[in-house]
Amino acid sequence: MKLDHTYILPSIFALIVHVVVAFIVMSEWQSSSQRTPPVQVKQRVEATLIDLDSLLAQQKLVDSAAIKKAAAKKAADKKAAAKKAADKKAADKKAAAKKAADKKTAKKAADKKSADKKAADKKAADKKASDKKASDKKAADKKASDKKASDKKTADKKAADKKSAAKKAAKKVADKKSADKKLADQKVADQKVADQKVADKKAADKKAADNRADKKLADQKAADKKAAQELAEVEQALESLLDEEEAQTDALEQQITNGQAVGSAVSYIKDEIGDKWVRPANARNGMVVELIIYLVPTGEVVNVEVSYRDSSATDAFVSSVVKAVKKVRRFDKLSQLNSVLFDANFRQFTVKFKPEDLRL
């Protein structure tokens, strides 16, 4: 068992004590054996086993108690010294405060005496200054009165001159304003005439372009008729709104927006039908069929009619296109159009189906 080094000295001391006791006992025993003849006696030896760890622990407790007691005494001494120092410091502070108070009282008395003298001097000076001020004020009032009369005379003359100049300036401004207004009115009239000419030319150019488009797309009879109707509506709206440029622009923008919406819807319808169309075996490039489709505002198909078919279109081809429309059943995006646009274009409309991407 490994011993704690803190108990080496106590252990050595205990060992020495045991040796000394054993030596004394041995000496007594030898002296006793010399005085009496030795007798052989069977002796019974009683021995007690001492636990060295227990002795060391007890010694450690004793040492710890001694250390704690010394520490407690040291702390008590330190506390007493601190109290004594604090008491001395408080006494010194109180004496210093009393000395400062006495000094302050003496200074206050000296300040009062000085203030009284200063107040008396100030009173005398104020009286002298007041007398001088009254004299100066009297002289200043007279001077100010004379200056006021002179300034009034000068101001009256200046005001009269200013009034005359303002009247002349006002007349000049009025004349200039009248001339500017006349020039601006003339400019507005000229601009209006120029705008009218531009609008007329633009309408004529658009009409010519539409006519060329009509000729080029002769095979799209229904689409051309619809485009002509829309163009007539746009032209009529433009003619009725030429005097109001802003209203004309708004109407034109609305027509363009509607045209874009209609074009987008037409493309959407063709794509939907194309997605649902199943090509029959005898379908060939160049076959054409036109369908009249009837819808309700929700975009649902209520009827489909064949309005035109060219000579090359077979019954199977026509039937496949009709079936594709019926498979769509509802054109959902058309429900997003406003009712006026829907009724004008998609309540009943014609779709031309002409596949161009077939191999044959």
Instruction: Quick: pLDDT tens for 26-35.
Output: 887 777 665 5
Task: Please tell me the predicted confidence (pLDDT) of residue 360.
Answer: 43
For CA atoms 252, 258, 262, 264, the dihedral sign is positive
Domain locations along the chain: 217-353
**What CATH number labels 217-353?**
3.30.1150.10
Q: Report the pLDDT averaged over residues 330-350.
A: 92
Q: Does 59 have pLDDT greater than 90?
A: no
Task: Please tell me the predicted confidence (pLDDT) of residue 273.
Answer: 92
Question: CB neighbours (10 Å) of residue 334?
Answer: 20
Task: Please tell me the predicted confidence (pLDDT) of residue 180.
Answer: 85
For CA atoms 94, 96, 97, 103, the dihedral sign is positive
Residue 353, φ and ψ in degrees, nearest 5: -110, 115
**CA 256 to the chain's CA centroid:** 39
Helix 315-328 crosses helix 245-276 at what angle (to 10 degrees)?
Answer: 110
Decide: 320 and 278 in contact? Cβ < 8 Å. Answer: yes
Q: What single-letter DSSP state applies at residue 337?
A: S
Alpha helices in the chain (DSSP H): 8-35, 52-216, 221-240, 245-276, 315-328, 339-345
Q: Work out the end-to-end distance of the chain between its first and last CA atoms, rounded to an integer number of angstroms.
A: 109
Helix 245-276 crosses helix 221-240 at what angle (to 10 degrees)?
Answer: 160
Question: Cα separation of 184 and 117, whole Å?
Answer: 85
List, for residues 124-155, the tens digit of each pLDDT value: 888 888 888 888 888 888 888 888 888 888 88
Encoded amino acid at 90, one letter = A
Q: How confident is the model at residue 41 (pLDDT cuts 50, 70, 90)?
A: very low
Q: What single-letter DSSP state applies at residue 297?
A: T
DSSP helix/strand/coil, 4: coil
Residue-averaged pLDDT of the chain: 82
The pTM of the full predicted model, rounded to 2 decimals, is 0.33
Strand partners, 308: 290
Task: Please tell me the predicted confidence (pLDDT) of residue 5.
Answer: 63
Decide: 342 and 262 in contact? Cβ < 8 Å. Answer: no
